[in-house]
Structure 1
C-alpha cells in the first residue's frame, strides 16, 4: 500500500512536500528498485527463519513506515527514505507469503490462492483511489497513511504459523536457482516493464488520443477490476491442470502484447479491446508465474520465487521510467509498440525457461 498511497494522494502530498511528477516517478522507482535489490537475499532469510516470523516482521516494518510517513515526512527526502524502508517490507512480505501459501495451502488450491495473493497490487490501487475522497479530502492525506498502518497491524493476526521443517536452509535452497529460473526472472522483468507502464500511462495516453479525462479514468478502473478477476480466474483454471502452466503464462503474455499494441491506435474501439487484452490477460500472469515456480521448486518456494520477484520489481522500477522517456521524445504509439515487443519477448523467455527449469 505505501507506494500506491503516495501515487493516489500525490495531489494532496504536493501541497505539503512539493511533490512534482518527476518526484513521484522517483518515489516509485526507489520503492520498486529497493524491492528488487532486496528480493534475492530476502529469499534466503525466509528459508532460514521461516515464513511466519519473516511475514510478521514485514507487516511490522510496513506499518512503521506508513506511520512514519503520517507523522514525520516533512520533506521529499524523508518520504523517499521511508518508502525505501517500506520496500524492504514489500520484498520480505512477498516471499514469506509465497512460502506460507506453498506450505499451508493444499496443492490443489495453490493456483487460486496465488492468484488471490497477487491481486493485492490492483486491490492496493483501488484502496488508494478510495482513500482520496473518503480520507484525504476530509481529514488530510496523513490520516490515510495512519489508517494504512492500522490495517497492517490487524493483518498480524492473519499470518499462518510456521510448519516444522527439519532440513537445513541450504539443503532446501539447493537447486532452486539455475539457468531456467534465471531466464524466468528475465521474462518477469520484461513483462513487468510493459505491464506496469499500463497503469501509469494509460490515462494520459488516452486523453492525448482525444478521450475525456473521466472516460480515461473509467478505462483504468475497468482495467484494474478486470485484472483482479482474471488473476483469480487464471489461478482457478491452473488448479485444474496438471501441467502446461508456464505455457499458459506465455500465451497470456502473447495476447497481452497484441492488446498493448492496440493501446497506441487512435480509435476508441481499439482502446477498449486493448484495455481488455492488455490489462485482463497481459497483466494477470504474476500469480500464475509464482504458482508455476513453486510447483517446479517445492522444496524452497521463497528462494525460487525470489528470482522471479527480483525480475518483477526490477521491471516495475525501470519500465515506467523508460516508457515515459520514450513517450516524451517520440510518441505514445511508439512507446506502446516497444512495450508490446517487451511482452512478446517475455513470452518467448517463459517458454525457453520452462524447458530449462523442468526437473
Structure 2
C-alpha cells in the first residue's frame, strides 16, 4: 500500500493542482502514439502499403500492451517516486514516436507501439497515488477528470498535425513533431511529489478497503469501461477516415478532431467539478454518458457530414467523458488501494481500446463504416448496462 486516504497531504490543500496538471500532461503524451498513428493512418498505410486491418492490428498492439502490462506497471509505479514514473513514461513516449517516424513496415511499427503501450501503463497507477495522497476528498472527481482529460487531449495534437503538417510535410515529420511535444511534461514531473509512504505490504490484496462485493463491482465496472472504450476508441482511431468517407475534406476533418478533443477536455473538467458536489451519483452519471456516446456512434453510422459532426461531438464529449469519473469512483470505493483503482480503470479502458482498432478495421472491411460504427454503438450501450449492474451490486452490499 503506497498511499492511503489517511496520509497527510503534501503541502497546502490548495497546492495539489500543479502536480495534477503534470500527471494529466504526462497521461496525454503517453497515449499519443496510438492516437497519432490512427490520425495519420491513411498516409502511413499508403506509403508502407498496409491494409486497414494490418494497421489496425498495429494500433491494437499499443492498447493491448497497456492492458496486459498493467499488472507489472502497477507494481513498478507503486515502488518508484511518482515524479520518476511520470518522467520515465513521457521520455518513453517521445522515443516511441521518434522511432515510429522511421518505421519501414508493419513489424517495426508494431514493435515500437508495443513499447509505447507498456510505458503508457505506468501513468494511471501513479496518478491514483497522487490523487489519493494529495487531493482532498471533495475535489477528487475534478482531479481525476483532469487526468482523465488526457484521453481527449491525446487526440488534440494529432488533429492539429493532420490539419497543419501532414499534407505539406508528410506523416514522418508529423510523427517527429509529436515526439518533440512529448518531451514537455518531463520538466514538470517534479511537481507531482507525494509524501513518503511505508513499503508495499499485503493490504492491497483481497477485498479489504471497501464494502462486501467490491471485487464484483470492480469487475463489472472494468467490463463497462472496456465495452464503452471499444466503440469510442474506434472512432478516435479512424476519425479521419470516417470523416472523409462522410464527405468532409482531410483538413476539415483534422480540425474537427482537434475541436472534438477540446470538447472532450471541457466535458471531463465540468463533469468532475459538478459531480464533486454529490459523488454518490457518479455511477449513474457515467452510465448516462456511455449511453450518450452510443447515440453519437449511431449518428456517425448514418454517414452524412452533418450526422458525422454531431455524432463525433457526442462520442468524444460524453462517450469519452466518463474516464476521470470512473477513476474517482473507484478511488472512493477502495480508498486504501489507490494503485488498484487506477489499475482497474486502466485495464478496462485499454482492453477495450486494444480490441477497437483491429476489430473496427476488419468490420469496416466486411460491413463498411456504417455497419462497424453501428456495432461500436451497441458496445457502448452494453457498457452502460454493465456500469449500472455494478452500481446495483454495490447498493445491495451496503
TM over 0.5: yes
- Following superposition, the deviation at residue 355 of structure 1 comes to 3.0
Compared CA separation, residues 238 and 83, structure 1 to 2 (3 A): same
**C-alpha separation in 1, matches of 2:159 and 2:382:** 32
Deviations 1:173-194 (A, max 9, x none): 4427711101111111100001
Check whether the contact 1:62–1:152 (CA below 8 A) recurs between aligned residues. Answer: no
Instruction: Report which stretch shifted further, 27-36 or 165-174.
Output: 165-174
Aligned mate of 2:275, from 235, 238, 244: 238
Q: In structure 1, how many angstroms separate the alpha carbons of the residues matched to 2:346 and 2:72?
A: 12
Partner of 1:124: 154
**Which of the residues 186, 193, 197 maps onto 1:165?**
197
Measured at CA, do residues 146 and 248 of structure 1 come closer, stay the same or move farther in structure 2, by a change above 3 Å? Answer: closer
Q: Does 1:99 align with 2:132?
A: no
Structure 1 partner of 2:143: 113
The root-mean-square deviation of aligned C-alpha atoms, in Å, is 3.0
Structure 1: segments with no counterpart, 5+ residues: none
Partner residue in 2 for 1:150:
183
Asked if residue 46 in structure 1 is aligned to residue 77 in structure 2, the reply is: yes
Residue 333 of structure 1 and its aligned partner are, at CA, apart by 3.0
Q: Give the equivalent residue in structure 1 for 2:86.
A: 55
**1:194 maps to which of 228, 231, 249:** 231
2:35 maps to: 4
Q: Do the aligned partners of 2:153 and 2:265 also contact (CA within 8 Å) in 1?
A: yes
Structure 1 residue matching 2:335: 3-state secondary structure = coil
Distance 1:172 1:295, change over 3 A: same
Q: 1:340 aligns with which of 377, 380, 388?
A: 377
Corresponding residue for residue 292 of structure 2: 255
**2:14 aligned partner:** none
User: Which residue, out of 324, 328, 333, partners 1:287?
Assistant: 324
User: Is 1:79 equivalent to 2:109 in the alignment?
Assistant: yes
Indicate how the Cα distance of structure 1 residues 184 and 154 shifts in structure 2: closer, same or farther if over 3 A, else same.
same
Structure 2 residue 119 is matched with structure 1 residue 89: yes
1:263-302 → structure 2 map (5 Å cutoff): 263-265=300-302, 267-302=304-339
TM-score, structure 2 normalization: 0.78
Instruction: Provide the C-alpha distance between the structure 2 equivalents of 1:294 and 1:235, rounded to a whole number of angstroms.
Output: 14
Rounded to whole Å, the distance in 1 between the matches of 2:278 and 2:253 is 37
1:78 deviates by 3.3
| Number of equivalent positions | 357
Q: Deviations over 1:225-262 (max 9, x none)?
A: 21121111111111111411111101111222222212
1:148, 1:19 → 2: CA distance? 27
Say which is worse superposed, 20-29 or 96-105, in terms of deviation: 20-29
| Partner SS state of residue 244, structure 1 | helix
Are 1:35 and 2:66 counterparts? yes
Name the SS of the counterpart of 2:195 in structure 1: coil
Residues 82 and 126, structure 2, Cα contact 8 Å, conserved in 1: yes
Residue 104 of structure 1 and its aligned partner are, at CA, apart by: 1.5
Is 1:47–1:303's contact at 8 Å kept on the other side of the alignment?
Answer: no
- 1:224 equivalent to 2:254? Answer no
Give the whole-Å Cα distance in 2 for the aligned partners of 1:184 and 1:69: 33
Question: How many angstroms does 1:35 deviate by?
Answer: 0.5
**Shift in Å, 1:27:** 2.3
- Comparing 195-204 with 205-214, which one deviates more in the overlay? 205-214
CA contact (8 A) 1:191 1:343 kept: yes
- CA 1:173–1:62: 2 relative to 1, 3 Å: farther
- In 2, distance between residues paired with 1:313 and 1:204? 22
Question: Where does structure 2 lack aligned partners over 5 or more consecutive residues?
Answer: 1-31, 209-213
More displaced stretch, 181-190 vs 322-331: 322-331
Return 305-314 or 163-172, whichever deviates more. 163-172
* Matches of 1:245 and 1:67, distance apart in 2: 39
Residues 125-159 of structure 1: per-residue CA shift (max 9 Å, x gap): 2213334645982993564255145325324333x
